[in-house]
A = this chain, B = another copy of it.
């Protein structure tokens, strides 16, 4: 029986739209992430995070609009001058004044947005579609005239009228926008809905598609993946997903998704071993803890506890692991200190402790550990001391048996001389064993 090497989570070859193996990341920790309740960035922290993102290998970083505040402008100008490997974008309202300030800061491109849903038109900017279209054309032509990249995005795309969306996207596509953006601003979209919308829009435009998913209903990463399947090429992420409300697609979780679906592409393009350092930097900057259940870097993401799991993991980690922790510079851990442990996990621990116990003995000590685990929480030291006590007791018993045996033999030797020739050989063998 041989293991089939075809990746069951890889893209479907018949799906000609898919960018699963050719996506790019626009990390917006320094813009969307600044809208996270706890975020207060200084010039120094923005520079550090920008450099760390560039080192990790994201394709673009996006910063807060220079119009937001004087300090925001200084920060943008400074990051633009760092000479990073990634391109630097800023995210502005759809108006020519904002665009002029943005371009003057030295960015590689401008990400323009405007709300198109009935909610946005009514309660946010109060403009109609013809106003939006004219503003978009003016801004796009200006930015293009400066030789920079330009993206035009609708906000709240999933609650926008499809005719409005297709009208504005085909218009900006015709005048040469680099990317259009589709945004689930309120975080309510679901994967099949994403697939349908992105695919429909993709069939109407020739430019690239960028997508932006909030995580209010826990679907952001899955929606981003499904958007790639439908033809989106650019995914907005932030480190740890920080952003408005409970945030957007987390860079780390998205890497977990993509390293499973497009392992060669992801491993060759992004420095996965720097993920933990990057997450720690951002967590410290915005004063949050890395969630206990974070994909990849959560404290137990590669911990295996149930006895039945431990057995198989020890035989072949891929049985219960779809991601190899070593790809991220991390290691797996077999949790053996609980009532759910099994003798295979304990056997592995016995070997780690460099003790010799037979399988029957390991099963017996496992029973002791499980019954102790029924009474109270166990830590590693508890289990180790149970194992060591058992080992030392069993050695004492062996020793005692051996002494008894030697004593018996000595008595036999005294009793008669007829077996004298065989005895030394027997003793030697026993010692060798």
Interface residue A347 (Cβ < 8 Å from any Cβ of B): no
User: Are B69 and A295 closer than 8 Å at their CB atoms?
Assistant: no
A156 to B118, CA, bound (A): 44
Checking B8, B38, B256 against A217 with a beta-carbon cut-off of 8 angstroms, the contacting residue is B256
Q: Give per-residue flags for A1-40: 1 if the beta carbon is below 8 A from chain B beta carbons, else 0.
A: 1011000110000000000000000000000001111101
Q: Give per-residue flags for A235-251: 1 if the beta carbon is below 8 A from chain B beta carbons, else 0.
A: 00000111011110010
Q: Give per-residue flags for A257-287: 1 if the beta carbon is below 8 A from chain B beta carbons, else 0.
A: 1001100000000000000000000000000
CB neighbours (8 Å) of A378 from chain B are: 40
Q: Give per-residue flags for A324-342: 1 if the beta carbon is below 8 A from chain B beta carbons, else 0.
A: 0000000000010011100
A414 to B388, CA, bound (A): 106
User: Are B293 and A215 closer than 8 Å at their CB atoms?
Assistant: yes
Q: Which of A64, A222, A299, A303 has most chain B Cβ within 10 Å?
A: A222
CB neighbours (8 Å) of A159 from chain B are: 8
A206 to B340, CA, bound (A): 35
User: Are A191 and B298 closer than 8 Å at their CB atoms?
Assistant: no
A363 to B382, CA, bound (A): 64
Nearest B-chain residue to A283, judged by Cβ: B292
Say which one of A53-61, A81-89, A165-173, A367-375 lies at the interface with B: A367-375
Q: Give per-residue flags for A186-209: 1 if the beta carbon is below 8 A from chain B beta carbons, else 0.
A: 111111110100000000000000
- A: residues with CB less than 8 A from B are 1, 3-4, 8-9, 34-38, 40, 64, 68-72, 93, 118-124, 156, 158-159, 185-193, 195, 215-223, 225-226, 229, 240-242, 244-247, 250, 253-254, 256-257, 260-261, 288-289, 291-295, 298-309, 311-312, 315-316, 318-323, 335, 338-340, 370-371, 373-378
Q: Pick 19 A–B contacts, CB within 8 A, sort by A.
A: A1-B118, A3-B118, A4-B118, A35-B306, A35-B340, A37-B335, A40-B338, A68-B339, A119-B312, A119-B316, A123-B315, A124-B308, A190-B229, A216-B295, A219-B225, A241-B293, A244-B304, A244-B309, A246-B295
